């Protein structure tokens, strides 16, 4: 059985080694950095071994887009290398947003929120890294949300219903203001008016403040929430009230390139309340680290680690 203190030491060494790989691989690495690295490596044989493993892993990750999968390697630091691998592979998977971009009529890059005025007077506000198709016909006005999240200010027209299609659900507006999000599950949030949400044979009508999402088993679950806070991204703010840190980081992560990896459940379950700027992720990370017992380590522009202190 592995001693807890030994595991913590292995994790710490693996984290330091990953930091050195990222630092020495950056363009602004200096001779002073290299001297400090050599001194660190000489302090303990485990340092050199961990650095070698992390360097090899980093090299494998660099070739991921060109290969089917990286070679398997011994896991370093009680799973630290595996977590880094998962995080970087997540970056590659996230790049499939290019598929949505090619299919879309309108698309926002990471970190950009955009207003779109449609021909009928309706307005779509696209959140970061989101994409839609516009399919207006004589009998209906249909928007296909290919990726991300959008807020809709709909001009009423009973002769041509306004329908938003997600992955598995669709939301039919009855002259209203509402948001639709796709991802692991479809979600609808109504700010004003009424929206009929359907999925297969399931149907629910939401009033202002109403929410609906597809559960893990495809069941349509309705509820209520502060839709103004849930869609505060329209004003450049992210508002959280008692949400788990893991969920908060998922949302924050949409406003930056790369992957945020939470290393332990204790950190992921910490509750977060506050208002953060969507366009200043560094400031947001600093505020989270100051108010919560966590450490946030930026290994590179593409990988950020979060762990309990």
CATH number of the structural domain spanning residue 266: 3.55.50.30
pLDDT score for 68: 34
Give the pLDDT band (50/70/90) at residue 6: low
Q: 52 or 86: which carries more pLDDT confidence?
A: 52
Separation between Cα atoms, residue 292 and residue 249, nearest integer Å: 13
Instruction: Kindly state the DSSP code that residue 64 receives in the 8-state scheme.
Output: G
Same domain, 124 and 207: yes
Q: SS3 helix, strand, coil % of the chain, rounded to 5? A: 35, 30, 30
Same domain, 46 and 146: no
Q: What percent of the chain has pLDDT over 70?
A: 82
Burial (Cβ within 10 Å: 0-12, 13-18, ≥19) of residue 220: buried
Mean pLDDT of the chain, nearest integer: 82
Q: What percent of the chain has pLDDT over 90?
A: 48
pLDDT score for 73: 37
pLDDT score for 101: 79
Q: Write out pLDDT tens, residues 155-174.
A: 999 899 999 999 889 999 98
Same domain, 108 and 90: no
Which of these three, 174, 195, 227, is where a domain ends?
A: 227
Give the pLDDT band (50/70/90) at residue 292: very high
Burial (Cβ within 10 Å: 0-12, 13-18, ≥19) of residue 304: buried
Same domain, 127 and 38: no
Which of these three, 172, 203, 227, is where a domain ends?
A: 227
pLDDT score for 72: 34
pLDDT score for 161: 94
171 forms beta bridges with 164, 197
| Entry pTM | 0.70
pLDDT score for 151: 96
Average pLDDT over residues 5-26: 71
pLDDT score for 171: 93
Q: Write out pLDDT tens, residues 126-145.
A: 999 999 999 999 999 999 99
Question: Domain range for residue 276?
Answer: 236-309
* Total tally of structural domains belonging to the chain: 3
Q: Kindly report the CATH number assigned to the domain that includes residue 113.
A: 2.60.120.1440
Contacts of 179 (CB under 8 A, 6+ apart): 149, 150, 151, 152, 188, 189, 191, 227, 230, 231
Same domain, 20 and 110: no
Same domain, 212 and 294: no
Same domain, 69 and 111: no
Of 254, 206, 211, the residue nearest 108 (C-alpha):
254
Q: Write out pLDDT tens, residues 57-95.
A: 655 444 434 333 333 333 444 455 555 555 554 444 444
pLDDT score for 302: 76
Same domain, 15 and 86: yes
Which of these three, 44, 62, 95, is where a domain ends?
A: 95
Same domain, 91 and 111: no
Give the pLDDT band (50/70/90) at residue 271: very high
Rounded to 5 degrees, φ, ψ at 299 are: -75, -35
Same domain, 137 and 220: yes
Same domain, 121 and 220: yes
Same domain, 40 and 70: yes
Instruction: Kindly state the DSSP code that residue 78 receives in the 8-state scheme.
Output: G
Of 47, 104, 43, 113, the residue nearest 77 (C-alpha):
47
């Amino acid at each position: 059985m592995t001693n807890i203190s030994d595991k913590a030491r292995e994790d710490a060494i693996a984290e330091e080694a990953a930091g050195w790989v990222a630092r020495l691989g950056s363009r602004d690495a200096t001779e002073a950095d290299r001297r400090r690295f050599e001194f660190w490596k000489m302090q303990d044989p485990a340092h050199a071994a961990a650095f070698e493993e992390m360097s090899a892993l980093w090299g494998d990750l660099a070739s991921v887009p060109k290969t089917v999968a990286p070679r398997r390697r011994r896991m370093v630091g009680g799973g630290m290398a595996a977590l880094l691998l998962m995080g970087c592979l997540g970056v590659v998977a996230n790049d499939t947003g290019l598929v949505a971009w090619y299919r879309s009529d309108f698309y926002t890059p990471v970190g950009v929120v955009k207003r779109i005025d449609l021909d009928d007077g309706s307005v779509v506000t696209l959140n970061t890294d989101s994409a839609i198709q516009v399919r207006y016909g004589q009998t209906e006005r249909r928007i296909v949300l290919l990726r991300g999240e959008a807020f809709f200010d709909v001009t009423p027209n009973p002769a041509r219903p306004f329908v938003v299609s997600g992955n598995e659900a669709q939301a039919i507006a009855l002259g209203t203001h509402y948001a639709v999000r796709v991802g692991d599950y479809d979600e609808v949030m109504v700010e004003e008016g009424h929206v009929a949400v359907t999925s297969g044979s399931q149907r629910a009508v939401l009033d202002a403040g109403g929410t609906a999402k597809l559960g893990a088993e495809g069941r349509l679950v309705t509820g209520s929430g502060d839709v103004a806070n849930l869609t505060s991204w329209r004003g450049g703010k992210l508002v959280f009230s008692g949400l788990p840190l893991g969920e908060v980081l998922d949302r924050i992560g949409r406003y930056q390139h790369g992957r945020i990896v939470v290393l332990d459940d204790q950190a992921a379950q910490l509750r977060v309340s506050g208002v953060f700027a969507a366009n200043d992720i560094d400031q947001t990370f600093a505020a989270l680290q100051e108010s919560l017992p966590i450490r946030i380590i930026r290994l590179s522009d593409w990988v950020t680690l979060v762990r309990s202190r």
